[in-house]
Amino acid sequence: MPPTPRALPSTWLLDGATGTELERRGFSTRLPLWTATAPRDCPDLLAAIHRDYVTAGADIITACTFRTSRHTLAKAGRERDAVSLTRDAVAIARSVLPANRPVLVAGSVAPLEDCYFPDRTPPARILDRAHHDHVDALVLAGVDLLLIETMPTVRESLAAVRAASRSGLPVIVSWVVRDDGVLLDGSPLLHAVEQVGPFEPAVVSVNCASVAACGAAVATLATCGLPFGAYANSGTPDGTFGFQPAPLDTEVYALHVARWLALGATMAGGCCGTTPDHIARLRKTIDHRASFDPTGQPA
């Protein structure tokens, strides 16, 4: 049995953005499929990106399954590829795992529709069926944990965590938030945490929001009584490619993450626009967390 996240170091380092890194290295990530076909179209490039995040020091790498659900693939008439693409994505991630330290493979569970438009969230019957199907495919593929991420609504995060809880695997639940730290559907973050709390998530988190938005949310999560974390983005959503990265200085991001760790965060990483360089810098920050001053400079 692979180690669960609770057996890893007290602060987990999640990898950075596979999707925008694929785009940065030349793979076209046009919507609606975005990165769904990467395991088949550019397996060597995908493996190289995962390997770079492992080398940078990530404790968890995320398989390229953000858009491999049957629901998403049906938009291009490729729903029959859902299980095989999910399987291939997980196999590629597992192929780069090091022998000298524990690194886990997370299966990404994404919103069925647009991460940034909560009004597009499908009705409950579609959410329940689609998330159960995707979770089943991830479990069959051999992930170590489930990463429910970039959720814009409470109701979809709840549908996804219900599906994930059946697996018996550790579950991370992460929402995308506005600059004031509130979910995109207008729900208070603590309300979302309360709704998923009975399913005992390993970590509750926010992601794919600005560093400032994540900082506001982390201050709220610090009061929730559950392990918490955040992984910010750098850039803006794009209606054609999914996301347009923008520069985020690694030292500046490390300083923000240092402050989150000082508040008790147990997980950090990077979302869209971040690179292996960001993760390598966060590895140093986490490893030296006892020596930094959260009001000053990063370690």
Percent of the chain with pLDDT strictly greater than 70: 89
Which residues are registered as beta bridge partners of 104? Answer: 60
Q: What is the model's pLDDT at position 264? A: 96
The pLDDT of residue 245 is 58
Are the C-beta atoms of residues 61 and 53 closer than 8 Å to each other? yes
Summarize pLDDT for 16-52 with one digit per residue, the tens.
989 889 999 999 888 789 899 999 999 999 999 999 9
Report the percent of the chain where pLDDT is more than 90: 81
Domain-embedded: residue 19: yes
Return the pLDDT at 34.
Answer: 84
Query: Does a structural domain hold residue 203?
Result: yes
**What was the pLDDT predicted at 220?**
97
pLDDT (average), residues 220-234: 96
| Domain span holding position 152 | 5-291
Helix residue ranges, H only, the chain = 18-24, 38-41, 43-56, 70-73, 82-94, 124-141, 154-165, 189-196, 211-221, 250-262, 276-287
Instruction: Tell which residue, 34, 272, 261, 52, has the closest CA to residue 149.
Output: 272
pLDDT at residue 248 is higher than 70: yes
Lowest mean pLDDT among 68-82, 96-110, 203-217, 231-245: 231-245
Q: Tens of pLDDT along 171-213? A: 999 999 998 889 999 999 999 999 999 999 999 999 999 999 9
Q: Residue 251 maps to which CATH number?
A: 3.20.20.330
What's the confidence (pLDDT) of residue 215? 96
103 and 9 Cβ atoms separated by less than 8 Å: no
The pLDDT of residue 246 is: 67
Residue 4 is predicted with a pLDDT of: 43
The answer for residues whose C-beta is within 8 angstroms of residue 80's C-beta and 6 or more apart is: none
Contact (Cβ atoms closer than 8 angstroms) between residue 202 and residue 5? yes
Is 161 among the domain residues? yes
Q: How much is the mean pLDDT over the chain?
A: 91
* Residue 149 included in any domain: yes
The rounded distance, in Å, linking the Cα atoms of 56 and 245 is: 20
* Residue 30 located in a structural domain: yes
Asked whether the predicted pLDDT for residue 109 surpasses 90, the reply is yes
How many helices (DSSP H) and strands (DSSP E) are in the chain? 11, 10
Residue 298 domain-assigned (yes or no) = no
**How many domains is the chain built from?**
1
Query: For position 28, what pLDDT does the model report?
Result: 84
pLDDT value for 1: 38
Q: What angle, rounded to 10 degrees, do the helices at 124-141 and 154-165 form?
A: 40
Backbone CA torsion sign across 273, 118, 150, 210: positive
Q: What is the pLDDT of residue 244?
A: 61
**Is residue 299 included in any domain, yes or no?**
no
| pTM (two decimals) | 0.92
